[in-house]
Amino acid sequence: MDKKFVKKENLSFKCKEIPLTRKELKNLLNYHLPCLCCGMEMLHPDIYTDLLDNKDFSGPAIESISILEPYEKIMHPVERQVFNMFKSMAVKYPEKSFQELLLLKKDVHELALVKIQNTIFNKINFYRRILPKKTARALRKLMIRTNDIIFDPEPHKPFSRRIFIHKLKGILKNINDTKLKEEIITIAKRLPRSSDEVCAFVVKNARKRSQIIALNLIHPSVGTFEHLQPKCMNGQNNSLNFALECTYCNNSRHHYPLSVQIEENPFMPENAQIQVNKLISLCKKDLCKKEYIKNLQSRLKELSQGIIDLNIDTL
C-alpha cells in the first residue's frame, strides 16, 4: 500500500460511549440489511456458520441446490449466474455433485479465461518498450513464466492473480514515474477474479470440494463488521468505527482509506443512504439506537471528506 494513502486517513474520533455492542450490531443483520458499499442484502453470519457443517453439500448437486435456493436472492451476480448454471445442469445430471458439474464446464471456461488474461498480459508487455532496461528484463521473465502457466493445460501450480500483481509491484517499485507505475498496475488489476467473471469462478472452484463450492456461492454475501478507519491506521475496534458490509466489499477494500473504496464503488454514497434509511426504520421500532446512526453519519462524512453526507432528518 502506498504511503500517501495512509497519511490521508490518519484521523482521530472520540466518543464517550459505545453506541452498540457487537451482539446488538450483529443482530441488525436479521432484518434484511443492505450492504453499506454495494447495496446487496446481507446474510446473517450465524446462518452461514450453521451451513458450514452441512454434509449434504458433498452429495448430488440437486440436493445442495434445494438447501441454497432460499438464499439465491442475496447471492452476488457471478455466484447467482453459477448457481443458475448448476440448476440447469442438475436436471440433466441429477447424480453429479457441484465439483463434477464444474469439471464438465472447466475446459470451455478455462479457454475463455485465458483469452481475457492474454489480452491484459499483452497490454502489460507493451510497457517493456518504455521501461528501464533492467525493469523491462524482469518484466519479460515474469511474463514468460506467467504464459507458461496459463497456456499449460496442467500446470504444476495454477495461475494466481494475487501473486502476479504482488510480483509486478515488486518489479516496478523502483520506477520514479509514479503515473506510469500506477497505469501498469491498474491494467493488471483488470485480470478476472472469481468474484467478477463466471469463467474465473468455474476454473478456480473446479479444484475444490463440493462443500466448499456450495459455501462459496453465499460467502460473499455474509455480513461483516467493516472498520471505517482501518485498524492499521489506529481505527478503533468497536461500533464507533464499525459499519455493516458484505464479505465481498469488506475483503475488496483491504486496508485502503474510505476515499479509495468510494472511487472503486461510485454508487457507495447512495447505497450508504439506503442502509441508513433502513437503520432509521429499525430505530423507530426500537431495534437500533439513534446514537449509532448519528455516529455512523458523522464518521462517514469525516472519513470520506464529505463525499458521503447522509441525510438523517427522519431520525
**CA–CA gap between residue 114 and residue 11 (Å, rounded):** 43
Mean pLDDT (whole number) for 250-266: 89
The pLDDT of 285-297, averaged and rounded, is 96
Q: Return the C-alpha cell found at 230.
A: 482501518
Q: Over 80: is that where the pLDDT of 4 sits?
A: no
Segment holding 245, helix H or strand E: strand 242-246
Rg of the chain over Cα atoms, rounded to whole angstroms, equals: 22
CB 188 within 8 A of CB 152: no
Pick from 220, 222, 212, 213: nearest CA to 46 = 222
Higher per-residue confidence, 254 vs 192: 192
pLDDT of residue 88 exceeding 60, the answer is yes
More confident residue, 9 or 212: 212
pLDDT above 70 (res 264): yes
Q: CA-to-CA distance for 146 and 167, rounded, in angstroms?
A: 11
d(CA 191, CA 197): 10
Give the per-residue pLDDT at 262. Answer: 93
pLDDT band at residue 16 using 50, 70 and 90 as cut-offs: low
SS3 267: coil
For the record, the C-alpha cell of 150 comes out as 496459463
Cβ distance 299 to 228 under 8 Å?
yes
Greater confidence (73 vs 10) lies with 73
> For 221-252, how does the pLDDT look when each residue is reduced to its tens digit (9 = 90+)?
999 999 999 888 888 889 999 999 999 999 98
β-strands 223-227, 242-246 pairing: antiparallel
Rounded to 10 degrees, the C-alpha dihedral 42/48/54/59 comes to 40
Contacts of 245 (CB under 8 A, 6+ apart): 35, 36, 37, 42, 223, 224, 226
Contact 22, 239 (CB under 8 A): yes
Counting residues of the chain whose pLDDT is more than 90, the rounded percentage is 83
Task: Name residue 242's beta-bridge partners.
Answer: 227
What pLDDT does residue 233 have?
A: 81
pLDDT tens column, 109-135 = 999 999 999 999 999 999 999 999 999
Q: Say which residue, 215 or 2, is predicted with more confidence.
A: 215
In the predicted model, is pLDDT for residue 216 greater than 70? yes
Q: What is the pLDDT of residue 236?
A: 87
Average pLDDT of the chain is 92
pLDDT for 91 beyond 90: yes
| Average pLDDT of the segment spanning 194-206 | 95
| % of the chain exceeding 70 in pLDDT | 95
